[in-house]
């Protein structure tokens, strides 16, 4: 086998992907939307889901502590030594048939086509995908493929063993059908690698389709809880929608492209909220509203971001605008009610704190007035007393003089 000296770093966020929430009732959060509900018993209709959340069939990627074994389907031909791709024993590759040399390896950003067979470690064939195409490094496929295909030579056949966390995670997948926590063996043949198309020369229909595909892949990552990967996919989709074009485009196609862009911004804001990246989420909402000022989802998320930043007045105004646009949306109503109550409680606490810091002005002024009155009362009493004594002394002197 051709020497593979490179070691590739896996993204950190994948190790800590939280599981998707599931419950008896559908909410916007469950469907990929970041709408939260106060009391689900009051919800009798399904709020609007994350825009066209393709990949909803995929289940959540999560941590897996399983260790790899060296059991694999019996390959044909000569087998080379295993190479530990990440240095942790959880992703390995070995050649089954040599390729065309190191110079033929695909580069990040190129489009590749492969033949893929996916097995369980006991040799059970799960799915066969001939002529599978994807862009290297864009997160279009599971990490195991995205990382290892860059080490393969053209026309090479290789066997890959991967831990669940670099494949379909703790919850597996429905399409393709993969059980939870499944370590997999992938048989891959690299067929071709081509440069990505020039976006400026791409026909509008193809540009819309490409951007939508990247967005849908982001939705898959979102629903698995891989929010950093979702942001990456949405960013790629946005770059496609924002790219200039040297090809004529109709107003209808422009509107369709803009619609994809706003959906990406909305979904990116939802992912950024999950990552607690509030400033970035706020920016995404502002950009979405710049194109569609009455976009309810952008208004809702903007209200949530402002509330999390402590800007309660602005948050309440934003949510009221969203509710005015869709008065029947119980999710927005519940969020607004919760926020108004929280804001009222905070104001009450602040007023109590100020009173404690400044004391009771009314009682203080009353005490001062009482002291003033008392001092004046004493002064007048003393004056009257002194005058009486003086008058009495004069009278006594007159009486004594008269007697003499």
Within-domain flag for 292: yes
Distances from the Cα of 158 to the Cα of 92, 114, 118, 132, 189, angstroms: 10, 11, 12, 15, 6
Burial 92-109 (b: 16+ CB within 10 A, else e): bbbbbbbbeeeeebbeee
Out of 39-53, 74-88, 234-248, least confident range: 39-53
Tokens 């067929």 locate to 191
C-alpha to C-alpha distance for 22 and 30, rounded to whole angstroms: 6
- Mean pLDDT, the chain, rounded, equals 78
Distances from the Cα of 192 to the Cα of 15, 162, 342, angstroms: 31, 23, 58
| Same-domain pairing of 129 and 178 | yes
Q: How confident is the model at residue 238 (pLDDT cuts 50, 70, 90)?
A: very high
| Same-domain pairing of 243 and 258 | yes
The 10s digit of each residue's pLDDT in 302-316 is 999 999 999 999 999
- pLDDT of amino acid 379: 53
Domain boundary among 154, 174, 194: 194
Within-domain flag for 78: yes
Is the model more confident about 22 or about 346?
A: 346
Domain boundary among 164, 179, 194: 194
Per the CB < 8 A criterion, the answer to whether 331 and 47 are in contact is yes
| Same-domain pairing of 397 and 322 | no
Within-domain flag for 384: yes
Question: Residue 34's closest CA among 335, 288, 339?
Answer: 335
| Same-domain pairing of 257 and 177 | no
| Same-domain pairing of 206 and 291 | yes
Within-domain flag for 119: yes
Q: Determine what percent of the chain is predicted with pLDDT higher than 70.
A: 66
Distances from the Cα of 8 to the Cα of 95, 101, 103, 290, angstroms: 18, 19, 18, 40
Per the CB < 8 A criterion, the answer to whether 150 and 105 are in contact is yes
- pLDDT of amino acid 175: 86
The 10s digit of each residue's pLDDT in 274-296 is 999 999 999 999 999 999 999 99
Which class for 365: exposed (0-12), middle (13-18), buried (19 or more C-beta within 10 A)? exposed
- pLDDT of amino acid 267: 97
DSSP label at 38? S
Range of the domain at 385: 373-404
Handedness of CA 159, 163, 166, 171 (dihedral sign): positive
| Same-domain pairing of 189 and 105 | yes
Within-domain flag for 82: yes
Q: Is residue 92 scored above 90 in pLDDT?
A: yes
Torsions phi, psi of 131, nearest 5?
Answer: 55, 45
**Once rounded to an integer, what is the mean pLDDT over residues 200-207?**
96
Question: Residue 217's closest CA among 233, 237, 228, 203?
Answer: 233
Q: Is residue 333 scored above 50 in pLDDT?
A: yes
| Same-domain pairing of 142 and 99 | yes
C-alpha to C-alpha distance for 339 and 331, rounded to whole angstroms: 12
Question: Residue 39's closest CA among 20, 25, 22?
Answer: 25
Q: How confident is the model at residue 330 (pLDDT cuts 50, 70, 90)?
A: very high
Coil, strand, or helix at residue 116?
A: strand
- pLDDT of amino acid 64: 41
C-alpha to C-alpha distance for 64 and 183, rounded to whole angstroms: 9
Cβ count within 10 A of residue 276: 10
The 10s digit of each residue's pLDDT in 168-194 is 998 899 888 999 999 999 999 999 999
């Amino acid at each position: 086998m051709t020497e593979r000296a490179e070691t590739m770093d896996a993204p950190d966020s994948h190790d800590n992907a939280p599981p998707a929430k599931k419950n008896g009732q559908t909410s916007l959060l469950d469907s990929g939307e970041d709408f939260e509900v106060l009391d689900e018993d009051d919800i009798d209709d399904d709020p609007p889901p994350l825009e066209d959340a393709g990949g909803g069939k995929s289940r959540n990627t999560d941590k897996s502590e399983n260790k790899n074994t060296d059991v694999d389907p019996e390959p044909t031909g000569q087998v080379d030594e295993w190479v530990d791709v990440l240095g942790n024993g959880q992703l390995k590759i070995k050649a089954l048939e040599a390729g065309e040399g190191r110079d033929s390896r695909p580069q990040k950003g190129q489009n590749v086509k492969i033949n893929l067979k996916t097995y369980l470690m006991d040799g059970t064939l799960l799915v066969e995908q001939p002529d599978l195409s994807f862009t290297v490094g864009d997160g279009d496929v599971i990490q195991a493929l995205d990382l290892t295909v860059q080490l393969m030579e053209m026309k090479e056949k290789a066997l890959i063993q991967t831990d669940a966390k670099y494949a379909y995670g703790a919850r597996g997948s429905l399409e393709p059908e993969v059980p939870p926590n499944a370590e997999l063996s992938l048989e891959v043949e690299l067929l071709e690698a081509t440069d990505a198309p020039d976006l400026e020369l791409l026909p509008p229909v193809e540009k819309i389709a490409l951007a939508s595909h990247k967005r849908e892949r982001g939705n898959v990552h979102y629903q698995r809880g891989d929010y950093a990967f979702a942001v990456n996919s949405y960013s790629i989709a946005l770059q496609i929608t924002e790219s200039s074009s040297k090809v004529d485009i109709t107003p209808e196609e422009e509107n369709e492209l803009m619609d994809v862009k706003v959906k990406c911004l909305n979904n990116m804001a939802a992912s950024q909220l999950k990552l607690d990246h509030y400033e970035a989420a706020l920016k995404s909402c502002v950009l979405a509203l710049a194109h569609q000022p009455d976009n309810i989802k952008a208004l809702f998320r903007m209200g949530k971001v402002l509330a999390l930043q402590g800007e309660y007045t602005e948050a309440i105004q934003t949510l009221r605008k969203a509710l005015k646009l869709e008065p029947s949306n119980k999710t927005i109503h519940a969020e607004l009610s919760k926020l108004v109550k929280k804001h009222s409680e905070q104001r009450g606490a602040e007023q109590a704190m100020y009173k404690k810091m400044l004391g009771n002005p009314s009682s203080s002024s009353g005490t001062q007035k009482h002291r003033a009155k008392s001092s004046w009362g004493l002064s007048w009493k003393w004056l009257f007393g002194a005058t009486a004594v003086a008058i009495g002394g004069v009278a006594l002197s007159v009486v004594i003089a008269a007697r003499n």
